[in-house]
Amino acid sequence: MKTSKVNYEKQIDEDGDQTIYFGINKSDFEQVKRLNYLTIGHFRKPFIPDVYLRYFVIFLSIIILTIAFIGAWLSK
């Protein structure tokens, strides 16, 4: 938020689990929401961490969908 020049207030929860809260202006909400999604996307782990398994699942899904479309087309 510093690099995008958004005004904000920061509060660290002293009693609980040290959660950090940010307060922003309503006018900056859409910009901050976009920044939040980019940050979550940058630090998240992949759903299927193994590259070969990920591509195998995608390839298998494409084959199953192709067979389903061919079956639907031939049943008409």
Return d(Cα 69, Cα 64) in angstroms, integer: 9
Element (H, E) at 44: none
pLDDT for the residue 14: 85
Tell me the percentage of the chain whose pLDDT exceeds 90.
55
pLDDT for the residue 15: 84
Question: Residues 6 or more apart from 8 whose CB is under 8 A from it?
Answer: 1, 22, 23, 24, 28, 32
pLDDT, tens digit only, all 76 positions of the chain: 777 788 888 889 888 788 888 898 899 899 999 999 999 999 999 889 999 999 999 999 999 999 999 999 999 8
